[in-house]
């Protein structure tokens, strides 16, 4: 199994490692330039971290594929930190504003004191020497971004769990937030806290890890890289479920334009058409609330004109794209909760929830909470009837344990000021 850019914080007394590796700050673009540049890195033979079995093979596989696609690619198997820094610096010196850069890393990643790091074969788990043996990921991405390439693709075939041995001189921490610069598309082979499977069991004779083999098979140079990654994610999730495992690739993109891996406009377009089912293995729940009562039992109901039409349009569009949709118009809170339970129970890679109605911010402790009134909501003065409103927090937690891709869309008007307490 892979280690990850996951969670580690050093014991007391360790100073923060520099956010930017000093070796990568120098100016770029001074040497011979190239338009398609690739770098693959695979680390198996760790001394202080858990050794891996297929990372080097994965890096070599992707390196070969990049060369077939016209990239000038370099592969670093079991590289030391200094070798990785040198290779990245060489890549930056060759890049220009028309370059497409592709970097693939297979190995362990980790986080210390809020900073994400890439590890090398000589990365140590000792406090005294740790910061000299790793490369800050955000600093690496920032250095690449400052060369102003047309597009950068970064694939981290690493887990999102703790790769340190039990006796390491470090204490646990949480996954740090990634800061992805513009024009960089980054994907992790596994979500937060997940293992990236090396294999599917003892009978699995494939030389590559599960993510690498899926990515390589889906890598179509004529479609967008985003389509490639999402097809890979679906395939990996399906393969992992076969062996009772949960693995879902995580995507971080700051790209406005959808391009192929070679930076071209896609020749293969994915366009939803009636009955095409382009959004595969997806269940959707559309909720529209057009009326509720505010101001007591004698008050007239609040009526919104848009939600019923929203329900029809959105349900139809999702169904035509292959989503299995259930729609609720003016449901009670009990009906909403029952549908949410059904949605969680459905076997599907993706879940989608769409809300149309009226949203309210209410005071909750020292902060504010977003709620959605249902059909049976009735407020008296400024008091909220909590038994008839759906809070965003409840909505998120009701589907959180599903561990599948869930998209929540809210098309709800919000008041300009707090109207309730």
Q: What are 121-153's pLDDT values in tens digits?
A: 999 988 888 889 999 988 899 999 999 999 999
Pairing outcome for strands 115-119 and 109-112: antiparallel
Tell me which of 234, 253, 272 is where a domain ends: 253
Q: Are 5 and 110 in contact (CB under 8 A)?
A: yes
DSSP state of 380: B
62 shares a domain with 207: yes
Average pLDDT over residues 250-274: 78
Strand partners, 152: 101, 184
230 shares a domain with 105: yes
CATH number at residue 54: 3.40.50.1460
107 shares a domain with 24: yes
Q: What are 22-68's pLDDT values in tens digits?
A: 455 443 443 344 599 999 999 999 989 889 999 999 999 999 999 99
Which of 79, 59, 171 has its CA nearest to residue 122?
A: 79
Tell me which of 232, 253, 274 is where a domain ends: 253
Average pLDDT over residues 405-410: 61
Q: How confident is the model at residue 403 (pLDDT cuts 50, 70, 90)?
A: very low
Instruction: Calculate what percentage of the chain has a pLDDT beyond 70.
Output: 70
What's the CA gap between 273 and 275, in Å, rounded?
6
What's the confidence (pLDDT) of residue 299? 55
Tell me which of 253, 273, 295 is where a domain ends: 253
307 shares a domain with 171: no
Is 214 contained in some domain?
yes
Query: Domain limits at 332?
Result: 282-413
261: pLDDT strictly greater than 70: yes
Is 249 contained in some domain?
yes
Which of 112, 208, 206, 201 has its CA nearest to residue 163?
A: 112
HSE-up of residue 20 (Cα within 13 Å, Cβ side): 12
What's the CA gap between 238 and 113, in Å, rounded?
34
359: pLDDT strictly greater than 80: no
Average pLDDT over residues 4-12: 31
Pairing outcome for strands 250-253 and 184-188: antiparallel
3: pLDDT strictly greater than 80: no
What's the CA gap between 358 and 353, in Å, rounded?
16
What does each C-alpha distance from 9 to 121, 179, 216 come to in angstroms? Answer: 20, 18, 34
Identify the top-confidence range among 151-155, 205-209, 397-401: 151-155
What's the confidence (pLDDT) of residue 394? 72
Instruction: Calculate what percentage of the chain has a pLDDT beyond 90.
Output: 31
Pairing outcome for strands 36-42 and 72-77: parallel
Please report, to the nearest 10 degrees, the dihedral formed by the alpha carbons of residues 313, 318, 324, 328 taken in order: -30
Beta strands in 123-268 (DSSP E): 134-136, 151-157, 170-171, 184-188, 250-253
What's the confidence (pLDDT) of residue 16? 34
Average pLDDT over residues 314-330: 84
144 shares a domain with 39: yes
Other C-beta atoms lying within 10 Å of the C-beta of residue 166: 5
173: pLDDT strictly greater than 70: no
302: pLDDT strictly greater than 90: no
Which of 251, 10, 209 has its CA nearest to residue 117?
A: 10
Is 155 contained in some domain?
yes
Q: Are 184 and 255 in contact (CB under 8 A)?
A: yes
What's the confidence (pLDDT) of residue 174? 34
322: pLDDT strictly greater than 90: no
Is 172 contained in some domain?
yes
User: Who has greater pLDDT, 374 or 123?
Assistant: 123
Is 124 contained in some domain?
yes
Is 211 contained in some domain?
yes
Tokens 């991405």 identify what position?
141
Query: How many independent structural domains does the chain possess?
Result: 2
225 shares a domain with 307: no
């Amino acid at each position: 199994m892979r280690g990850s850019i996951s969670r580690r914080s050093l014991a007391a007394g360790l100073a923060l490692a520099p956010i930017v590796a000093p070796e990568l700050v120098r100016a770029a673009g001074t040497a011979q330039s190239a338009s398609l540049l690739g770098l693959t890195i695979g680390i198996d033979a760790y001394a202080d971290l858990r050794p891996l079995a297929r990372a080097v093979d994965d890096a070599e596989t992707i390196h070969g594929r990049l060369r077939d696609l016209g990239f000038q690619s370099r592969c670093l198997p079991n590289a030391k930190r200094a070798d990785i820094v040198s290779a990245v610096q060489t890549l930056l010196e060759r890049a220009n504003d028309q370059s497409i850069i592709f970097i693939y890393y297979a190995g362990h990643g980790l986080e210390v004191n809020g900073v994400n790091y890439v590890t090398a074969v000589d990365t140590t788990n000792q406090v005294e020497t740790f910061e000299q043996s790793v490369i800050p990921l955000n600093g690496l991405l920032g250095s690449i971004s400052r060369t102003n390439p047309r597009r950068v693709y970064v694939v981290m075939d690493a887990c999102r769990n703790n790769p340190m041995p039990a006796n390491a001189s470090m204490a646990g921490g949480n996954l740090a937030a990634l800061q992805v610069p513009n024009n960089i598309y980054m994907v992790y082979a596994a979500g937060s806290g997940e293992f990236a499977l090396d294999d599917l069991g003892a009978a699995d004779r494939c030389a590559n890890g599960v993510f690498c083999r899926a990515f390589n098979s889906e890598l179509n140079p004529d479609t967008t890289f985003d389509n490639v990654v999402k097809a890979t994610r679906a395939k990996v999730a399906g393969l992992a479920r076969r062996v009772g495992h949960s693995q879902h690739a995580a995507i971080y993109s700051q790209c406005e334009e959808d391009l192929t891996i070679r930076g071209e406009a896609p020749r293969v377009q994915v366009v939803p058409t009636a009955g095409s089912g382009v959004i595969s293995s997806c269940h959707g729940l559309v909720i529209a609330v057009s009326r509720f009562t505010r101001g007591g039992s004698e008050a007239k109901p609040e009526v919104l004109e848009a939600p019923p039409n929203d329900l029809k349009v959105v349900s139809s569009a999702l169904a035509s794209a292959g989503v299995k949709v259930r729609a609720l118009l003016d449901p009670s809170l009990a009906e909403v909760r029952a549908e949410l339970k059904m949605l969680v129970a459905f076997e599907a890679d993706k879940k989608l929830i769409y809300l149309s109605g009226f949203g309210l911010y209410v005071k909750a402790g020292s902060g504010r909470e977003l709620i959605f009134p249902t059909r049976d909501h009735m407020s008296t003065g400024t008091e909220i009837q909590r038994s008839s409103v759906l809070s965003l927090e409840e909505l998120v937690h009701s589907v959180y344990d599903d561990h599948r891709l869930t998209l929540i869309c809210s098309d709800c008007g919000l008041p300009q000021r707090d109207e309730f307490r």
